[in-house]
Amino acid sequence: MGGVNVDPNFAREIIALGGKDLRKCMQCANCSVVCPLSPEDDPFPRKEMIWAGWGLKERLLKDPNVWLCYNCADCSAYCPRDAKPGQVMNAIRARVISEFAWPKFVGKVLNRSWGFPIFVIIVPAIVLLSLIYWANPGIFAGQLPSGTIETSKLISTTNVEIAGFILGGFALLIGLIGMWRYWLAITDGGGMEFTVKPLENAELEIKGKPGFMGLYFFEAFFFVLRDILYHNWFKICEANKPRFPAHLLIFYGFIGAAIATLGAILGLGHILEFRLPISLGYYPLPWPWELLYAKEIDPMFLIASGFKLIGILAGLAIILGSGVAIWNRLFNKKTKEFGSYYDWFFLLVVFFVGVTGYGVIIARALESTATYWIYLVHLYFVFMLLVYAPYSKFAHMLYRTVAMIYAWTRDRYPKTPKYFWEAW
Amino acid sequence: MEKNLGVYICTGCGIDKLDIEKIKGVVENEFKITPKVHQALCSRDGVELIKKDIEGGVNAVVICACSPRVKQDVFNFGKDVITVRVNLREDVVWSHDIDEHAQELAEDYVRMGIVQAQKTELPEPYIEETSKDILVVGGGVTGLTAALECAKAGYKVYLVEKENELGGWVKKFKSILPGKFPYREPVDAESYINEKVKEVTNNENITVYTSTRIKSISGQPGMFNVVVDREGNEETFKVGAIIVATGWKPYDATKLSHLGYGLDGVVTNIELERMLKDGKLEFNGRKVKDVAFILCAGQRDENHIPYCSTVCCLTSLRQALNIRELNKDSNVYVFYKDLRTVGIYEDFYKYAQQDEGIYLTKAEIKSIKQNGDKIRVEVTNTLLGEDIAVDVDMVVLVTGMLSSMYGLYTVKEEYPDEGEPPYSHIKPAVPKEIAFENRDKEWILNLQYRQGPELPTLKYAFPDSHYICFPYESRRTGIYPAGCVRAPMTVRDCELDARGAALKAIQTVELVAKGATIFPRTGDIDYPQFFLQRCTQCKRCTEECPFGALDEDEKGTPQPNPLRCRRCGICFGACPEKIISFKQYSVDMISSMIKAMSVPSDEGKLRILVFACENDAYPAIDMAAKNGLKFSPLVRIIPVRCLGSVNVVFIADAMSKGVDGVLMLGCKFGEDYQCHFIRGSELANRRMENVKETLNRLFIEPERVKIEQVEISDWERIPEIINGFVEEIKKIGPNPYKGF
């Protein structure tokens, strides 16, 4: 072969996924210089720009660098040609997700605006309608449950659980498959060892550290996890400062929501027909302020309302975080990035999951029957969040983690700041 | 003419530091004229003083004040008064410490000035019945624009085109580059050129000759006799000036087999343009989807075209956009050496770059080979830092533009019958054999000039005359090349070029009607007179005239064409018989000025003569003086029109008078010459050999005569040059002929 293969379709896909200014790049490498995250050897995103411009698909699909980028947009802010390297990196990431998440076409269609009618209207509508029909056909006749407002009256907890397990399990499986395939790709098939091409014709050949399976992997995982929890990399961003609090809020919002969900299950005391060893005995979880009126405090009640409090705060964090992110995309002129359909799809789904979830809480507190309607809309967004997770931007949490672990084991990990407190 | 001289000495601007009484004494004693002294001659009062004398019968004034380069409007007393300026300010008081030497210098300048006035005659213009019509050769975009511009200015135009329709290359194009903001989408070529053609054919000032060739052109500006051959019918008309807009021709792609020309699917950009024009992207019935452009195919390459054609990068981008318009699925790969999108067309480049199907990279071609149905292009040294291989349906070789004069026999100097071209700025574009073979087969103007039938070219067959220094000029007075015949350029630049040439042509017809010359002595009506009774038919003048102004009869006697003349005086510098002279500038005049100098036998008072070219060297000396630089007071500066007009006689006269050294300051010569008369300084340099021979015969050291090349920006070096030469002469010692 006389040279690298050029895949024009790949270049077109990156352009369509949001890299529309990609070709403006004149390879000056300003981006690589201003990037606060780029490692000194083999820096990005300069070379990713020309690879994308020329459709070097094989290179980009197994380039972990694209995940070391946090879209700080310093590159876009300082690009003299306005080529927006930040957006291009983002588009490449979208393309990577759709490449590795099985089946491929879902990711390809989902992340493009022409997938909107299928994935935002038709599919969720069918799934949701059949779920409702299965659980409570009466609602089609306009018969809302009467009495105290409880969402389980509309669709029973069991039905939601069954649907949740099937759909969530599917999403998890697809996500893991994608993650594994991506690991194989970036490590060239497992990556127990690797060799570094020596610089300047040195004869020395450096053997790499063992990759997957070794103890080293767990060390890497520990550091990666620490950085994720502390959001260390986000803090280095310059142009896109609001991204740090936004992502932090959404991130911990989701963790809080997961804890609250766990609390709800404990409150119920059983999953499907299986009785749990512990049961709080409160379902739905009681409002925290009910503690004020309680004559004597049951410890289970205290725990249950604690879970509820976490849930309330988590919902608030998600709304606030995604709200900041939306504001940032719309009004932060420094980043020069509005984002693509791929970004907005995920962001709006998160935002509306939060808003509708909170809507349910408020409507229920007001004892309004609107609760049921809001709940249905909430389910609609939760469905999209959950089922499309392995194909949408949500999947970044898997791929990014994999790439960071890989980078750490290859000493390609930007090590500053090492600790949380150093970043302040 | 009975001369009545008036001498006026100004004492302003520091001249009063000199001993004015002594200068007055020199004039009174030696010339029997009573000079008038005024403290500011350029004031209204001072001018009135002179004017009053003129009314009283003075008809030649010698103004001893500032440089002849300044206040020309103040000291302009009309065409009936001879005005000579003696430069006491810049050449004496500003550039010297005032002492005995400076005083002697001032006195010498006054003597020389008075003698100059005595030897000057009033010029009479060469008035003939001239035509103000303009001939435009070539009906492409440049020719059409030039014709329109001349016609709109009220001049009658003859437009000659060899094809059977107007429009030139653009007529054959699908689109052209955009001409206005935002410089993005290509513009439809057909409608653009049709509009121009329509405008030309509807203009009653323009006579269009299609399917016509020029048979011959004879005469001179204002009175060119043009004979055209219109499909076998001969027609004759008279024009005043000519615009040559014959455009370009593509490079022969068959010489590019190393880039795959000849393979199935490898075409030139001209062939591609034809496909685009037809709207069908097919090659041998096969549909073309992916295309690779190879830029600089045979360009910037010593074996083919050594220069950059400047428009191919843009044209390729334009064609790439056209391809993408025809087929939205197509991919166009552009491999370039350097992408040169000049000026505002950077915006066009950015626009093309944004197209998702256009791929641009710098690259060196490794190989272009057939690969099944496709052609495989392999390139190295790319922007990606690694080699790229693409399989495409078509490869476009972007060959360059040759001037339409390429391959033609132009002038004798470029293609001499024997030997090499005599001037170092001449670089023949094709080997002599090719030029000789084409001699009577292909031509454009077929000028009936002694020196050759076409415009002389400068480099790579472009008929230019150092565009930076002398824009729009050629080396044939009244004939102006414009557009791609002169240099490769875009359609839009052709329009601009055409306008420039049109203005030049108009200027010519207007000036020659008054008997005046054009650039650089614009408006000069004095012209060389030949005293042919004493001519020895040596042919030096006819050969050396840079503008081909002199023809010859059978015996070799020069036949002057005064309207072709630019008044440089190179002919009289060449003439060994001293038979050529202007009324205001002659061998006798300069010789007399030299003889008017005082040459003391005192060893400390060496005398050195400087001939300074009035175009660059003399202004440089003025600038040095103005900036307070000082140089030796032993030199006497005589401005000359061109170093080429320095006759060997001047040097012989100076030496026999006892002058110790002669320094000649002229323009740069050679490949990147700056001589306003193309070869004057180079000729002077060559004549030095004769001079040295003469000096040897007189037993004088040849080092006493020297030529220096000076640019106007060299003014800071003037003291260094002059003083350096004075030191050299001091080392050699005084001229042994002193005092004879």
Q: What is the CATH number of the domain that holds B667?
A: 3.40.50
Q: Are residues B620 and B738 in the same domain?
A: yes
Q: Using a CB-CB distance cutoff of 8 angstroms, which residues of chain B are in contact with residue A9? A: none
Question: Across the interface, which of B358, B366, B387 has its CB nearest the CB of A4?
Answer: B387
A2–B367 C-beta distance less than 8 A: yes
Which residue, of B95, B122, B149, is where some domain finishes? B122
A47–B385 C-beta distance less than 8 A: yes
End-to-end CA distance of chain B: 34
What average pLDDT does this structure show over A98-120?
88
Residue A49 C-alpha, separation from nearest chain B C-alpha, in angstroms = 10
Q: Which residue has the higher pLDDT, A125 or A203?
A: A125
Q: Are residues B234 and B154 in the same domain?
A: yes
Q: Using a CB-CB distance cutoff of 8 angstroms, which residues of chain B are in contact with residue A27? A: 383
* pLDDT for residue A423 is more than 50: no
A5–B358 C-beta distance less than 8 A: no
- Whichever domain contains B205, its CATH number is 3.50.50.60
For the sheet with B82-87, list strands across it. B36-38, B5-10, B60-65, B82-87
What average pLDDT does this structure show over B559-586?
94
Question: Across the interface, which of B290, B353, B380 has its CB nearest the CB of A23?
Answer: B353
Q: Are residues B590 and B733 in the same domain?
A: yes
Q: Are residues B735 and B609 in the same domain?
A: yes
- pLDDT at residue number B740: 67
Q: Count CB pairs under 8 A between chains A and B.
A: 57
| B570 within a domain of the structure (yes/no) | no
Using the Cβ of B427 and the Cβ atoms of chain A, whether some distance falls under 8 Å is answered with no
B389–A24 C-beta distance less than 8 A: no
Residues B427, B446: Cα–Cα separation, whole Å: 21
* Minimal-distance CA residue of chain A relative to B339: A26
Which residue, of B122, B147, B166, is where some domain finishes? B122
- What tokens were used for A265? 């299950």
Instruction: Read off φ and ψ for residue B251, nearest 5 degrees.
Output: -70, 145
Q: Where are the domains of chain A?
A: 8-100, 105-423
What is A8-100's CATH topology?
A: Fumarate Reductase Iron-sulfur Protein; Chain B, domain 2 (1.10.1060)
- pLDDT at residue number A189: 65
| B538 within a domain of the structure (yes/no) | no
What average pLDDT does this structure show over A262-269?
87
Residue B132 C-alpha, separation from nearest chain A C-alpha, in angstroms = 53
Residues B655, B665: Cα–Cα separation, whole Å: 18
* pLDDT for residue A209 is more than 70: no
Closest-CA residue to A89 (of A403, A423, A409, A324)? A403
Using the Cβ of A19 and the Cβ atoms of chain B, whether some distance falls under 8 Å is answered with no
Residue B378 C-alpha, separation from nearest chain A C-alpha, in angstroms = 6
* pLDDT for residue A257 is more than 90: yes
Residue B331 C-alpha, separation from nearest chain A C-alpha, in angstroms = 7
Q: Which residue range(s) make up the domain with B642?
A: 585-740
Question: Which range has the worst mean pLDDT, A43-47, A73-77, A210-214, B107-111?
Answer: A210-214
The single-letter DSSP state of residue A213 is T
A12–B357 C-beta distance less than 8 A: yes
Q: Are residues B469 and B366 in the same domain?
A: no
| B643 within a domain of the structure (yes/no) | yes
A23–B355 C-beta distance less than 8 A: yes
* pLDDT for residue B604 is more than 60: yes
Question: Across the interface, which of B357, B359, B387 has its CB nearest the CB of A3?
Answer: B387
A51–B389 C-beta distance less than 8 A: no
* Residue to substitute from B384, B391, B392, B393, interface A, most A β-carbons within 10 A: B384
* pLDDT for residue A199 is more than 60: no
Q: Are residues B55 and B96 in the same domain?
A: yes
Query: Which residue is associated with the tokens 């067959």?
Result: B461
3-state secondary structure B559-606: EECHHHCCCCCHHHHHCCCCCEECCCCCHHHHHHHHHHCCCCCCCCCC
Residues A239, A182: Cα–Cα separation, whole Å: 30
A2–B376 C-beta distance less than 8 A: yes
Q: Are residues B117 and B149 in the same domain?
A: no
A51–B386 C-beta distance less than 8 A: no
Using the Cβ of A56 and the Cβ atoms of chain B, whether some distance falls under 8 Å is answered with yes
Using the Cβ of A9 and the Cβ atoms of chain B, whether some distance falls under 8 Å is answered with no
Residue B316 C-alpha, separation from nearest chain A C-alpha, in angstroms = 17
* pLDDT for residue B655 is more than 80: yes
**DSSP notation for B676-730:** TTSSHHHHHHHHHHHHHHHHHHTT--GGGEEEEE--GGGGGGHHHHHHHHHHHHH
Question: Across the interface, which of A1, A15, A50 has its CB nearest the CB of B356?
Answer: A15
Residues A31, A33: Cα–Cα separation, whole Å: 5
- pLDDT at residue number A211: 44
Question: Which range has the worst mean pLDDT, B44-58, B84-98, B275-289, B385-399?
Answer: B275-289
A56–B384 C-beta distance less than 8 A: yes
Question: Which range has the worst mean pLDDT, A64-78, A209-223, B123-137, B594-608?
Answer: A209-223
Cβ neighbourhood burial of A209 (10 Å; 0-12, 13-18, 19+):
middle
**pLDDT tens by residue, B717-730:** 999 999 999 999 99
Q: Are residues B64 and B105 in the same domain?
A: yes
Residues B478, B487: Cα–Cα separation, whole Å: 19
Residue B346 C-alpha, separation from nearest chain A C-alpha, in angstroms = 12
B385–A21 C-beta distance less than 8 A: no
* pLDDT for residue A216 is more than 80: no
B359–A8 C-beta distance less than 8 A: yes
Q: Are residues B194 and B277 in the same domain?
A: no
Q: Using a CB-CB distance cutoff of 8 angstroms, which residues of chain B are in contact with residue A17? A: none
| B438 within a domain of the structure (yes/no) | yes
Question: Which range has the worst mean pLDDT, A366-370, A380-384, B363-367?
Answer: A366-370
Mark residue A389 as left, alpha or beta (left: phi above 0; alpha: psi -120 to 50; beta: remaining).
Answer: alpha
Residues A159, A162: Cα–Cα separation, whole Å: 5
Residues A76, A25: Cα–Cα separation, whole Å: 11
| B544 within a domain of the structure (yes/no) | no
> What ipTM was reported for this prediction?
0.83
Residue B286 C-alpha, separation from nearest chain A C-alpha, in angstroms = 21
| B462 within a domain of the structure (yes/no) | yes
B378–A2 C-beta distance less than 8 A: yes
End-to-end CA distance of chain A: 51
- What tokens were used for B156? 């009658």
| B398 within a domain of the structure (yes/no) | no
What average pLDDT does this structure show over A247-255?
96
What average pLDDT does this structure show over A106-111?
86
Total domains present in chain B: 4
Question: Across the interface, which of B356, B366, B388 has its CB nearest the CB of A4?
Answer: B388
Longest dimension (CA), chain A: 83
**DSSP notation for A265-308:** HHHH-EETTEEPS-----SSPPPTTHHHH-SS--HHHHHHHHHH
Q: Using a CB-CB distance cutoff of 8 angstroms, which residues of chain A are in contact with residue B386? A: 3-4
Give the confidence band of B307 by pLDDT, cuts at 50, 70, 90: very high
What average pLDDT does this structure show over B333-340?
95
Q: Are residues B708 and B602 in the same domain?
A: yes
Question: Across the interface, which of A1, A12, A50 has its CB nearest the CB of B389?
Answer: A1
Cβ neighbourhood burial of B163 (10 Å; 0-12, 13-18, 19+):
middle
Q: Please, are residues B431 and B220 in contact by the beta-carbon 8 Å criterion?
A: no
* Minimal-distance CA residue of chain B relative to A48: B384
- Whichever domain contains B74, its CATH number is 3.40.50.2300
What average pLDDT does this structure show over A30-49?
89
**pLDDT tens by residue, B20-50:** 999 999 999 999 999 999 999 999 999 999 9
* Minimal-distance CA residue of chain A relative to B332: A8
Give the confidence band of A265 by pLDDT, cuts at 50, 70, 90: confident
* pLDDT for residue A162 is more than 80: yes
Residues A89, B496: Cα–Cα separation, whole Å: 45
Give the confidence band of B69 by pLDDT, cuts at 50, 70, 90: very high
- Whichever domain contains B274, its CATH number is 3.50.50
Residues B71, B79: Cα–Cα separation, whole Å: 17
Residue A410 C-alpha, separation from nearest chain B C-alpha, in angstroms = 23
Cβ neighbours of residue B130 closer than 8 Å, sequence gap 6 or more: B221, B222, B223, B240, B509, B512, B513, B563
Q: Which residue has the higher pLDDT, A39 or A199?
A: A39
Q: Please, are residues A206 and A196 in contact by the beta-carbon 8 Å criterion?
A: yes
Residues A95, A58: Cα–Cα separation, whole Å: 12
Strands (E), A17-131: none
Query: B233 forms bridges with which residues in the sheet?
Result: B230
Query: B530 forms bridges with which residues in the sheet?
Result: B580
| B549 within a domain of the structure (yes/no) | no
Using the Cβ of B379 and the Cβ atoms of chain A, whether some distance falls under 8 Å is answered with yes
